[in-house]
Amino acid sequence: MSTTKTVALSFLIAAFAFLCTDVLAADAAADVAAMHAVDQAWLKAYNSNDAKTATGLYDEDAILMPPGAPPAHGRAAIEKFLAADMAESARAGVTFHLGAKPDGGVNGDLGWVSGTYTVTDKSGKVVDAGKYLSVSKNEGGKWLYVRDTWNSDGAPPKPEK
């Protein structure tokens, strides 16, 4: 009788663990989708020259690590960098686009997303392409960047003589 109860209890525990895994996987997929939505909001803000909206997607203590520039620590520094960078992109007439197949993962209140991007000029010609990686944390149901970086696939520009 004891063996039967042990087997039954083991089966119940295994079934519960299996069902919880499915629920956790569904939650993780929803969290990754939410982080991808934040990326789309960032993209829209960037291409609209809206540094304030883009900066609101970052945690107060976030660090932005752009290529060819020192890191920007905290929202104020991130907003300063993004405002200047967005203005330069607007003057140059370039637009950012995110690749079609981003990736991501989540572990508790921390998550990451990565993918590719292209930059096009006014004619639609690709003038740059690269990849990005962001780490975010969930604060009260809202995903905020805590680390954000990207880099070009192209060679860095040669120094001017």
Position 156 scores a pLDDT of 72
Q: Does residue 66 form part of some domain?
A: yes
Number of domains composing the chain: 1
Cβ–Cβ under 8 Å, residues 42 and 57: yes
Q: Does residue 59 form part of some domain?
A: yes
User: At 31, which CATH number?
Assistant: 3.10.450.50
Cβ–Cβ under 8 Å, residues 146 and 63: yes
pLDDT tens digit sequence for 22-47: 444 547 889 999 999 999 999 999 99
Query: What pLDDT band is residue 155 in, cutting at 50, 70 and 90?
Result: confident
Mean pLDDT, the chain, as a whole number? 88
Q: Does residue 159 form part of some domain?
A: no
Q: Does residue 161 form part of some domain?
A: no
Q: Does residue 157 form part of some domain?
A: no
pLDDT tens digit sequence for 57-86: 999 999 999 999 999 999 999 999 999 999
**Rounded distance, CA 46 to CA 96, Å?**
8
Using CA atoms, how far residue 155 sits from 68, 86, 89, 144, in Å, is 12, 22, 19, 31
Q: Does residue 85 form part of some domain?
A: yes
State the chain's maximal CA–CA distance in angstroms.
Answer: 87
Look at the block and give the residue holding tokens 């921390």: 110
pLDDT tens digit sequence for 5-15: 665 555 545 55
Domain of 89 in residue numbering reads as 2-152
pTM: 0.80
pLDDT tens digit sequence for 83-136: 999 999 999 999 999 999 999 999 999 999 999 999 999 999 999 999 999 999
Q: Does residue 122 form part of some domain?
A: yes
Position 21 scores a pLDDT of 43
**Rounded distance, CA 44 to CA 64, Å?**
18
Position 24 scores a pLDDT of 45
Position 32 scores a pLDDT of 95
Q: Does residue 110 form part of some domain?
A: yes
Contacts of range 41-48, beta carbons closer than 8 Å, 24 or more positions apart: 43/96, 43/97, 43/98, 46/82, 46/86, 46/89, 46/96, 47/95, 47/96
